[in-house]
Structure 1
Amino acid sequence: MQKSFLIVLIVAALGAFAIYQFMPTLPAYIAFAAGAMIAGVVFILLPDAQAQATETEYTGPTMTLYVGNLPYRVHEGEVKILFGEFGPVNSVRLVRDRKTGRRKGFGFVEMSEAGAKKAMTKLNDFTFQERTLKVREAKTQDGEGQEKGDE
């Protein structure tokens, strides 16, 4: 957020300066107002560009990981950031109790196969928010790990 505000402030100042240079007879306050409007447009469009860049789904080989012993208050976004350090993350599903809606302390992360292998190595027994994570390849319902041909 602070980075975006700084960008908008710089764009407003540069826009006001450029407008004032091209039209020196224009009062400075009008040039600044025009620069601020340009900056507003940049501010509106900037978060959308960042969201589109981060929301693209990985289409190569993927693996689903089981993540156990998660803190009960953790959010999907925090888990996505943690696992995103090792490769592209397609989805994070934290399991909730059907009756109470409370998280059960485990979930599943679907991510690139290469990233998942790195994440399993680095994050298994890793302390995250005062909990020691257990990270394994997720099992299918027939009890075996997912293979490329099983999907």
Structure 2
Amino acid sequence: MNIYVSNLSFNTSESELNQAFSAFGQVNSTKIIMDRETGRPRGFAFVEMTQKEDGQHAINNLNNTELNGFSISVAEARPREERSYSNNSFNNYKRY
């Protein structure tokens, strides 16, 4: 199960997230999303758990709890939507 975690402190590490979620089951991966320009955390992350039941238990128990002084929001991640590039000037170039 893929879980979306938002409102993270910029000081939160992936190991801290892993530890918090591991209390509810096996964690496959933890990924804090970084800003491409600055290299700083963007304040959200994704945690993937092996079992859906464990993930749901983690969501129910960690949503609106405090982690490093911030009240985090935890929910099931939604599939990423396709981005439309129709407004992008790249599409105005002819391809030969």
Q: In 1, distance between residues paired with 2:64 and 2:8?
A: 11
Task: Give every structure 1 segment of 4 or more consecutive aligned residues whose post-TM-superposition deviation is greater than 6 Å.
Answer: none
Contact 2:30 2:47 in 1 (8 A): yes
Which of these two proteins has the greater Rg computed from alpha carbons?
A: 1
Q: Out of 64, 77, 90, which is 1:125 matched to?
A: 64
Where structure 1 has 5 or more consecutive residues not aligned to the other structure, the ranges are 1-62, 144-151
**Structure with more strand by fraction:** 2
**Structure with more helix by fraction:** 1
Q: In 1, distance between residues paired with 2:43 and 2:81?
A: 23
Q: Out of 45, 48, 65, which is 1:110 matched to?
A: 48
Structure with larger RCO (C-alpha < 8 A, sep 6+):
2
User: TM-score under structure 2 normalisation?
Assistant: 0.81
Q: In 2, distance between residues paired with 1:135 and 1:118?
A: 11
Q: In 1, distance between residues paired with 2:32 and 2:66?
A: 18
Partner of residue 80, structure 2 = 141
Count, aligned residues: 81
